[in-house]
Amino acid sequence: MIDTPEYQFVKEIIPTEIEENSILNIVTRDVNTHTHGFHKYPAKFIPHIPKWAIGKYLNGNKDKNILDPFCGSGTTLVEGVLAGYNVIGVDIDPLSAMISKVKITRVDKKTLKEISVWLVKEIKTNRKGTFKPDCETIEHWFTKSTIKKLSAIRTLINQIPQKFGNGKKVKDIQDLLLICFSSIIRRVSNADNESQKTYVSHTKVKEPVEVNSLFFSQLDLFVDRATKFSSVTNSKTKNKIIHSSSAASLEKKLNGLQIDLAVTSPPYIKAIDYIYNQMVELFWIGDLFQMQTQTKQNEKKIQYIGNKQISKTEFNKYTPYNTILSIDKLDEKLKEIYDTDTKNGHKHSYITFKYFAEMEKHFAEMSKCLTTGTHYVVVVGDSNVSDIFINTADFLIDIAERNGFRITNKWGYKIKNRFMRFDRKGRGGIIEIDWVLDFERKSQLTKKYNLKKRTNLEPSPPLPSDFF
């Protein structure tokens, strides 16, 4: 039987106090205001969530620092800067780090105007570029005419420092133009626009959009939004983007910075391959982060939490009987996956185990970065692995609680925008809910749990060197 939750309808503004376990249906007009809509990104959350947390916990006192340790495309950071706070974003994905940086950077309007006018004029006259993507199959992904036009634009953007100088103002605008350029790539490619996987459909043949006209309209939007963002935000707010993992030495990377609020949505189990999702964009700007070829892209995947591309050698010695997380219900789920899915159970059980083990490492790091009483708001969805329901949110509560956090509230909201999302069929069939876990840093660390091995059974699996 499908149990349909009873939704509490909310229009635009989430009430400060929310009853535990209630599920909101948030009616929103536009989630792409300000710089939020600059670039697509899988599993973005709605700006309303960080806005709610900021309003509830910082309440006007401006000299405060907000952290998003899985910042993705920077939704929390944009809301933080708009509200007048300093923001710090961390993400393992270099393209996401660059998108976030561009979305929160105040630009010099005069320089932006000057460079964008020059760029449009040059694109209209300059038909040939020297930039070549490092991809043998590029003509599978783009038509010849699209390749030629994209090459011309990227070549011109590369010439900006030479033409306008190497200063910070110019560099910020060059980055903005690179993200503007990247934001049109999927639509001008042959790949399906909607899917979170990048592939060319042979049944649903796509007519790619013409490059220059799309770039010009996107450039207008970027110039307009970046100019307005720079006018409405306070020049005194500071921001920092750290391109790194949030599951290792986070405290060191933050370098003693006091965090007053953390808001994030971590990856889901086995759900999104962020690099695969951005593959066509990476062919055109991946050289900036040494990710221009598919081989280089694949090498990076291992560092992403929730990643499902795992080689057999990594898990061949793992079993849920020799390696446990010491959360009984979760350990039972790992065994159930292992025992019931005869085809992929071994791998899927390991991926699920690894996800929670890495999230444990993350919470342990966060507890070192946050002082007593600070809130950490985590948005996450439950998952299905090998057709077995995994109540990720509840297990993350168990993990956070044994790493210095206390859950103060758990509520949910209905996911509306299915663009770039994925099917996570919960127990209730097609209903999709994201859970908002509101943690508070406790004053005393409780006993620190770690991976427990049953030593009389098999030897430990070969975990990545910095695993625990």
> Using CB under 6 A as the criterion, which residues of the chain lie in contact with ligand SAM when the complex forms?
41, 43-45, 70, 72-73, 75, 90-93, 96, 245-247, 265-267, 274, 303-305
In Å, how far from its chain's centre is CA 322?
A: 32
- Between strands 433-441 and 405-414, the pairing is antiparallel
The pair phi, psi for residue 442, each rounded to 5°, is -75, 165
User: Are 112 and 175 within 8 A, CB to CB?
Assistant: no
Gap between the terminal Cα atoms of the chain? 41
Task: Determine whether 317 is exposed, middle or buried from the number of CB atoms within 10 Å of its CB (0-12, 13-18, 19+).
Answer: middle
CA 353, 358, 362, 363: dihedral to nearest 10 degrees? 20
Residue 233 CB, nearest approach to ligand SAM (Å): 18
Alpha helix (H) ranges present in 256-293?
274-277, 279-285
- At 436, is the secondary structure helix, strand, or coil? strand
* Integer Cα distance of 304 and 207 in angstroms: 33
> Helix, strand, coil proportions of the chain in percent (round to 5)?
40, 15, 45
Instruction: Considering the complex, state which of residue 173 and residue 250 has its C-beta at the smaller distance from ligand SAM.
Output: 250
* Integer Cα distance of 7 and 411 in angstroms: 11
Structure tokens at 340: 């019931």
Q: Using only the alpha carbons of the chain, give its radius of gyration.
A: 23
Residue 272 CB, nearest approach to ligand SAM (Å): 7
Residue 180 CB, nearest approach to ligand SAM (Å): 18
Residue 427 CB, nearest approach to ligand SAM (Å): 22
Residue 211 CB, nearest approach to ligand SAM (Å): 26
The pair phi, psi for residue 183, each rounded to 5°, is -70, -15
- At 299, is the secondary structure helix, strand, or coil? helix
Q: Which letter does DSSP use for residue 289 in this model? A: G
* Integer Cα distance of 278 and 281 in angstroms: 5
Instruction: Considering the complex, state which of residue 169 and residue 301 has its C-beta at the smaller distance from ligand SAM.
Output: 301
In Å, how far from its chain's centre is CA 345?
A: 27
The residue sitting closest to ligand SAM, measured at its beta carbon, is 72
Residue 440: its H or E element? strand 433-441
Q: Tokens 């057999």 belong to which residue?
A: 312
* Integer Cα distance of 166 and 179 in angstroms: 18
User: Are 150 and 158 within 8 A, CB to CB?
Assistant: no
* Integer Cα distance of 65 and 84 in angstroms: 10
